Chains A and B, each alone.
Chain A
């Protein structure tokens, strides 16, 4: 039962975050690239304001999978690294925490481009 509850929370919160993006796309003509940039930076600052962490605790993947969650990792990384290493942690922390995701995207993107061919839209 608890499993179902966790999944439901992830579904609803994740879905709602995407709806925010959809409303932005439909009303402001923002392109995909701008939406992504906006969500990552929003995630960073919401985390800094202490708003995002409770949402992550509540919804799990519902809050970490949207790109705001990527911003959350960056911000949490920077904050925790400042605690351990002082000011230099601000530079190192964000990327360290998000390193696996960034590296995975680059590497899988590369491998993918070597395997597959571009195709036209139907």
Chain B
């Protein structure tokens, strides 16, 4: 099928744009800002707690992210996170709790389709691509860094 739009289709696309109300940008950004900021502040408090527990430089961030992930999955399970998400948009998607939500939500939802191909497979519905591209990118960065170190230094 051709991708080119006829003049009529272009005209229609404009008409649709005009008649479709926009998201309320400023309101959305303010909500994303304060909720996202709050989640990060909780993260900072957890890091401080980790420091008082005398966890090391590597284990303290681990503690923080695991605690936030626990928070994210639990809020998903009790049906609160989707309400936060409706209000905050990216404010609750971008923090690590949003990643936890994207793992927990399809897992709960598809449990009725079975433990293996339902819960087990769908758990990665959104986390899968995140890991695929995140890990691949880190490998590319590692290899480039190695190459630079070998040949340039």
Contacts and interface: CB of A to CB of B under 8 A. Distances in A.
**In the complex, A touching B (Cβ < 8 A):** yes
Contacts of B74: 108, 112
Nearest to B119: A113
Contacts of A41: 133-134, 137
B29 to A, nearest CB: 5
Contacts of A24: 90
Nearest to A87: B146
B13 interface: no
Contacts of A20: 90, 94
Contact of A45 (B46, B61, B98, B141): B141
A109 B95 contact: no
A72 to B, nearest CB: 10
B135 interface: yes
Contacts of B70: 104, 108
B107 A14 contact: no
Contacts of B40: 10-11, 13-15, 59, 61-62, 65-66
A81 B142 contact: yes
A100 B62 contact: yes
Interface string A80-122: 0110001101110111011011101110111111111111010
Given A21-B90, A26-B25, A70-B134, A90 B34 contact: no
Interface residues of A, number: 82
A73 B43 CA distance: 15
A116 B84 CA distance: 18
Interface size class of B (residues with CB under 8 A): 35 or more
Contacts of A75: 137-138, 141
Nearest to B82: A121
Contacts of A65: 39-40, 43, 64-65, 68, 95-96
Contacts of B112: 118
B152 interface: no
Nearest to A111: B73
Interface of B: 22-23, 25, 28-29, 31-41, 43-48, 58, 61-62, 64-66, 68-70, 73-74, 76-79, 82, 88-91, 93-96, 98-100, 102-104, 107-109, 111-112, 119, 123, 125-127, 129-131, 133-135, 137-139, 141-146, 149
14 contacts: A11-B37, A19-B32, A19-B33, A22-B29, A26-B28, A33-B102, A36-B130, A47-B141, A62-B40, A67-B96, A79-B142, A105-B73, A105-B100, A113-B104
